[in-house]
């Protein structure tokens, strides 16, 4: 494989970030035949984000073959030309193979080669990949700093505008991230509040061993003290002193799903102050998979109590901006790690009884749990009164300010311009009100990831009603439906 543009080496890339836009995923996103006619908003979003970025940084389209080779690619170049988005370069790779399929790794190899030719250091490169997981990759290797962050950090976004504003607010992403984590850890150690990204939703964190710090969480969220908090750890070593028992099944489950969206409830040790657990003798513990969250906890050297970073009872946040909009001014620092990739809260499972019991469905579904440790109970299906086992799991939660209603047939509301529609999959119906698609390809995981963002977006439009049809009741769809039912219960 060779770079086509080796002879253009005179271009000056000595300042600003060099943002490589992966050509294939960009064209797929912009010209997807999957896109309903009423969803072209993504094109405007891409164009305006690229406009903004091109004034501050270098944009390089990176991909296989020539841009004019393919109808969608020539379509891309004319769209961008028309929109006055200027690229510093199009780095087209000739692979000499017809069947070459563009993988993340090969793209990175090409970028390495490009960067070598132009002398672009690792810390000034970002690779942007579009599609359902619009994301940027930060290459953290060779930074020479002590960190357990992975060599390549992926940060995901809901929209291109979100991505552009992240890049613009992190002009030196590597330095900014590492500094932010170090400062955040210092604030946590001193008893302050730090908002942290996790793979599920953003959390409002405080040192779990400091009751005064934990009290600030309840104040900021206007959360009643009877609703206990989840304690987050960076590794198992940090978890063991917090509990007095660690049953085999809990061991097996955490060994399998940690780090990840799983919270286990176990008998607490005296290290956990009673304010964290609402006076209960048990504690809920989770090891998040988001590397920024784990690095923050590791640097703080303390277990971190963190509920979702929203006002009590309201929709949970999946971006730093969501948190700022609702809780701005109540915390000491915020780590902006892009959009949460799971998008709904962790599964909470209690090991207090003889048989483990799911208290809250979440990022890991019951089937996967049972495949690991055998039969478990779940409140939803056994219709046990939730509030007796888990005080915080009130029937109304996650609510939008706009009334939300679950309906069988969203099309019934097609003529109402004052009604917002939350759809799971694609629809050709001509809705007069605003529509949010949770997943054009009807992928429940994607729907979970976009759920709160879509609810918040519709909630800002001063509509009289939001209608939504439930997802099929399987896998993560169960957790999504649980959130929708509780959000609907408020009204
Ligand atoms: O994904 C998540 O779990 C997110 C992120 C930030 O980690 N956190 C989260 O926290 O959702 P929060 O506070 O919004 O919800 C925690 C739930 C509450 O409903 C609470 O009642 C339950 O976990 N919980 C906490 N400690 C418990 C305990 N000791 N026994 C039973 N339920 C508990
Ligand atoms: Mg919550």
User: What is the rounded average pLDDT of the residues 97-116?
Assistant: 70
Q: Are residues 158 and 209 in the same domain?
A: no
pLDDT band at 188 (very low <50, low <70, confident <90, very high): very high
Lowest mean pLDDT among 285-294, 305-314, 385-394, 446-455: 385-394
Has residue 256 been placed in a domain? yes
Has residue 395 been placed in a domain? no
Rounded Cα gap, residues 447 and 454, in angstroms:
9
Instruction: Indicate whether residue 265 lines ligand 1 (CB < 6 A).
Output: yes
pLDDT at 459: 97
Ligand 1: which of 285, 342, 345 to mutate, most ligand atoms within 8 Å of CB? Answer: 345
- Token reading at 318: 């999946």
Q: Are residues 383 and 409 in the same domain?
A: no
Q: Taking 80 as the threshold, does the pLDDT of residue 392 lie above it?
A: no
Residue 245 has a CB neighbour count (10 Å cut-off) of 12
What residues have CB less than 8 Å from 406, skipping those under 6 apart? 467, 468, 469, 470, 484, 485, 488
Q: Are residues 161 and 251 in the same domain?
A: no
Residue 217 vs residues 22, 223, 225, 334, 343: alpha-carbon distances, Å = 41, 8, 10, 14, 21
Q: Are residues 144 and 255 in the same domain?
A: no
Separation of 3 CA from ligand 1 center, angstroms?
51
pLDDT band at 381 (very low <50, low <70, confident <90, very high): very low
Instruction: Indicate whether residue 282 lines ligand 1 (CB < 6 A).
Output: yes
Helix axes 71-82, 41-54, angle to 10 degrees: 60
Higher pLDDT, 327 or 114: 327
Lowest mean pLDDT among 175-189, 264-278, 391-405, 423-437: 391-405
**What is the count of structural domains for the chain?**
3
Q: Are residues 363 and 429 in the same domain?
A: no
Helix (H) / strand (E) containing 348: strand 347-350
Pairing of the two strands 89-94 and 2-3: antiparallel
pLDDT at 95: 55
Q: Are residues 159 and 191 in the same domain?
A: no
pLDDT at 198: 98
Has residue 396 been placed in a domain? no
Q: Are residues 124 and 187 in the same domain?
A: no
Q: Which atom of ligand 1 is nearest to the CA of 348?
A: 23
pLDDT at 305: 98
For position 341, which CATH number holds?
3.90.870.10
**ω into 490 cis (within 30 of 0):** no
Read off φ and ψ for residue 279, nearest 5 degrees. 65, 5
Q: What does DSSP assign to residue 343?
A: -
pLDDT at 89: 82
Higher pLDDT, 441 or 422: 422
- Calculate the dihedral angle through the C-alpha atoms of 364, 365, 370, 372, rounding to the nearest 10 degrees: -30
Report the predicted TM-score, pTM, of the whole model to 2 decimal places: 0.93
Q: Are residues 48 and 119 in the same domain?
A: yes
pLDDT at 144: 56
Has residue 158 been placed in a domain? yes
Q: Taking 50 as the threshold, does the pLDDT of residue 487 lie above it?
A: yes
Ligand that lies nearest to the alpha carbon of residue 203, given by its number in the listed order: 1
Instruction: Indicate whether residue 241 lines ligand 1 (CB < 6 A).
Output: no
Separation of 310 CA from ligand 2 center, angstroms?
7
Note whether 239 and 216 are within 8 A (CB). no
Q: Taking 90 as the threshold, does the pLDDT of residue 397 lie above it?
A: no
Residue with tokens 């504003």: 165
Pick the last residue of a domain from 171, 193, 212.
171
Question: Could you report the per-residue pLDDT of 412-421, keeping only the tens digit for each?
Answer: 999 999 999 9
pLDDT at 1: 36
Rounded Cα gap, residues 145 and 172, in angstroms:
15
Q: Taking 60 as the threshold, does the pLDDT of residue 79 lie above it?
A: yes
Pick the last residue of a domain from 171, 195, 215.
171
Residue 488 vs residues 310, 358, 388, 485: alpha-carbon distances, Å = 17, 22, 22, 5
pLDDT at 102: 54
Has residue 375 been placed in a domain? yes
Separation of 306 CA from ligand 1 center, angstroms?
8
What's the chain's average pLDDT? 89
Q: Are residues 410 and 335 in the same domain?
A: no
User: What is the rounded average pLDDT of the residues 367-377?
Assistant: 98
User: What is the rounded average pLDDT of the residues 57-65?
Assistant: 85
Question: Could you report the per-residue pLDDT of 117-136, keeping only the tens digit for each?
Answer: 999 988 899 999 987 778 88
pLDDT band at 138 (very low <50, low <70, confident <90, very high): confident
The parent domain of residue 34 ranges over 2-171
User: What is the rounded average pLDDT of the residues 80-106?
Assistant: 69
Lowest mean pLDDT among 91-95, 253-257, 369-373: 91-95
Lowest mean pLDDT among 69-83, 174-188, 475-489: 69-83
Has residue 397 been placed in a domain? no
Higher pLDDT, 160 or 30: 160
pLDDT at 99: 40
Q: Are residues 163 and 223 in the same domain?
A: no
pLDDT at 310: 96
Ligand 1: which of 264, 305, 390, 449 to mutate, most ligand atoms within 8 Å of CB? Answer: 390
For position 457, which CATH number holds?
3.40.50.11030
DSSP string, 263-302: EEEEEB-TTS-TTTTTT-SEEEEE----HHHHHHHHHHTS
Q: Which atom of ligand 1 is nearest to the CA of 204?
A: 6
Pick the last residue of a domain from 354, 389, 424.
389
Rounded Cα gap, residues 28 and 330, in angstroms:
41
Pairing of the two strands 404-406 and 89-94: unpaired
Q: Are residues 384 and 471 in the same domain?
A: no
Has residue 394 been placed in a domain? no
Instruction: Indicate whether residue 342 lines ligand 1 (CB < 6 A).
Output: no
Q: Taking 80 as the threshold, does the pLDDT of residue 407 lie above it?
A: yes
Has residue 105 been placed in a domain? yes
Q: Are residues 337 and 260 in the same domain?
A: yes
């Amino acid at each position: 494989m060779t770079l086509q543009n080796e002879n253009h080496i005179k271009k000056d890339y000595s300042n600003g970030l060099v943002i490589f836009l992966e050509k294939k995923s960009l064209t797929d996103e912009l010209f997807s035949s999957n896109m309903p006619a009423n969803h072209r908003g993504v094109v405007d979003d891409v164009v305006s984000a690229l406009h903004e970025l091109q004034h501050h940084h270098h944009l390089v389209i990176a991909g296989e073959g020539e841009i004019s080779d393919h109808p969608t690619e020539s379509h891309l170049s004319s769209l961008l030309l028309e929109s006055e988005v200027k690229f510093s370069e199009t780095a087209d790779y000739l692979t000499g193979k017809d069947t070459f399929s563009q993988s993340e790794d090969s793209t990175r190899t090409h970028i390495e080669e490009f960067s070598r030719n132009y002398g672009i250091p690792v810390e000034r490169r970002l690779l942007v990949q579009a599609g359902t997981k619009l994301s940027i990759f930060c290459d953290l290797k060779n930074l020479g700093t002590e960190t357990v962050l992975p060599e390549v950090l992926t940060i995901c976004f809901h929209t291109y505008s979100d991505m552009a504003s992240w890049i613009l607010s992190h002009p030196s992403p590597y330095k900014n991230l590492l500094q932010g984590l170090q400062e955040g850890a210092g604030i946590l150690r001193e008893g302050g509040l730090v908002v942290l990204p996790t793979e599920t939703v953003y959390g409002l964190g405080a040192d779990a061993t400091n009751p005064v710090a934990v009290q600030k969480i309840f104040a900021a969220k206007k959360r009643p003290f009877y609703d206990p908090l989840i304690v987050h750890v960076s590794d198992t070593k940090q978890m063991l002193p917090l509990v007095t028992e660690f049953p085999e099944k809990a061991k097996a489950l955490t060994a399998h799903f940690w780090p990840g969206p799983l919270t286990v409830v176990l008998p607490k040790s005296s290290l956990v102050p009673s304010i964290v657990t609402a006076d209960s003798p048990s504690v809920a513990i989770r090891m998040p998979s988001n590397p920024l969250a784990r690095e923050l906890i590791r640097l703080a050297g303390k277990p971190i109590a963190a509920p979702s970073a929203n006002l009590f009872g309201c929709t949970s946040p999946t971006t730093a901006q969501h948190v700022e909009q609702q809780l701005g001014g109540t915390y000491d620092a915020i780590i902006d790690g892009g959009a949460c990739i799971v998008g709904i809260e962790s599964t909470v499972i209690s090991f207090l009884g003889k048989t483990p019991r799911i208290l809250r469905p979440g990022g890991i579904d019951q089937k996967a749990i049972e495949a690991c440790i055998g039969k478990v109970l779940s409140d939803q299906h056994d219709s046990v009164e939730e509030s007796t086992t888990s005080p915080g799991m009130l029937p109304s939660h996650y609510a939008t300010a706009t009334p939300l209603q679950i309906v069988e047939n969203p099309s019934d509301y097609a003529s109402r311009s004052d009604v917002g529609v939350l759809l799971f999959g694609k629809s050709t119906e001509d809705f007069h009100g605003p529509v949010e698609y949770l997943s054009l390809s009807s992928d429940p995981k994607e729907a979970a990831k976009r759920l709160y963002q879509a609810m918040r977006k519709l909630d800002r439009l001063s509509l009289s009603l939001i209608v939504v049809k439930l997802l099929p009741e399987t896998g993560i769809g169960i957790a999504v439906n649980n959130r929708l039912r509780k959000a609907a219960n408020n009204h």
